[in-house]
Amino acid sequence: MNAPVPSAPLAIECSSDGVPLRDPARAVPRYSLPRAVHHFRELLKDKEETSHVFKIFEALPSKSFLPRVRRLALSPHGEALRRSEPYLPPILDDHAALRRLPRGSVAHAYCDFMESQGLSAAGLVAEADKLGRPRYDDLVQWVADRSRDVHDLMHVLTGYSRDALGEQCVLLFTHGQQPSHGHLLIGWAGAAHIRRLTRTRAPIFKAALEAQRTGRACPPLIFLPIRDLLALNLEEVRRQLNIPEPRWYRECHRVWRAEGIDPFHLMAPERPQAA
């Protein structure tokens, strides 16, 4: 009796320089809506605890993510982008270099935003690292990192601030570019929570829908050369990328202030009352 012929190992997709599309050791994420909802509720208690955001995305993996990685990272454009921008945080956190770019540029607006908020790209990495997830030398890691690292740049380009509604709008803008149930959950459920919390006349859902549509009309930022983008005039970039003034978001802020509501303290964590 002939011995069974061993099956050939599955071919692994790689870039031209041999980096695998997806490391075989990388665990296949499991979809869990209850786990995502749990972390969403925890996030509502303190929107600054951004590790819950990463846990929500981990619990709601997107089926379109790997095809999106393949489309970008295995293309000649993606390979050139990976050579010029292998890792964004050192570029984004070098404010001295960014400040040497022209006034009115995306770089200056980005530095102004990050410095005024006490933020850094490295800080966002640290929040993600709290999960203790293993890292892999594959193209999935490169695109996942890139998607994370452009988050604050999205705030700058879209005009959404870091108030509760602004964060929901940025996530829905991101969903328009990179569809996922995680963005939908946080964006729309967060908008609904703000509506219940404020009992306001502000057009919250119009602002959320506007953000999602703007993201869909804008070319995916992770596909663009960020170094080049930073050097360009902010208003010109907005025109080129089809990013209009966030009309309904601005209207929400106007209505809230008329109602005596501070947009930046809608979802502050509750503090115990003094005895």
Give per-residue pLDDT as tens, 210-242.
Answer: 999 999 999 999 999 999 999 999 999 999 999
What are the domain boundaries of the chain? 33-262
Rounded CA separation 87/69 (Å):
16
Q: Give whichever of 4-13, 42-51, 127-136, 156-165 has the largest mean pLDDT.
A: 156-165
Task: Average the pLDDT over each of 1-5, 73-77, 188-192 and give the range with the smallest value.
Answer: 1-5
Q: Give whichever of 3-7, 178-182, 198-202, 249-253 has the largest mean pLDDT.
A: 249-253
Q: What is the per-residue pLDDT for 104? A: 98
Question: What is the pTM assigned to this prediction?
Answer: 0.87
Structure confidence at residue 265 as a pLDDT band (50, 70, 90): confident
* Average pLDDT rounded to a whole number, residues 163-189: 95
Q: Is the pLDDT of residue 130 over 90?
A: no
Q: What is the per-residue pLDDT for 48? A: 75
Rounded CA separation 118/120 (Å):
7
Q: Report the 3 state secondary structure along the chain.
A: CCCCCCCCCCCCCECCCCCECCCCCCCCCCCCHHHHHHHHHHHHHCCCCCHHHHHHHHHCCCCCHHHHHHHHHCCHHHHHHHHHCCCCHHHHCCHHHHHCCCCCEHHHHHHHHHHHHCCCHHHHHHHHHCCCCCCCCCHHHHHHHHHHHCHHHHHHHHCCCCCHHHHHHHHHHHHHHCCCHHHHHHHHHHHHHHHHHHCCCCCHHHHHHHHHHHHHHCCCHHHCCHHHHHHCEHHHHHHHCCCCCCHHHHHHHHHHHHCCCCHHHCCCCCCCCCC
pLDDT digits (tens, 9 = 90+) for 29-50: 899 999 999 999 998 888 778 8
Residue pair 66/22 in contact (Cβ under 8 Å)? The answer is yes
pLDDT digits (tens, 9 = 90+) for 90-122: 999 999 999 999 999 999 999 999 999 999 999
Task: Average the pLDDT over each of 97-101, 185-189, 245-249 and give the range with the smallest value.
Answer: 185-189
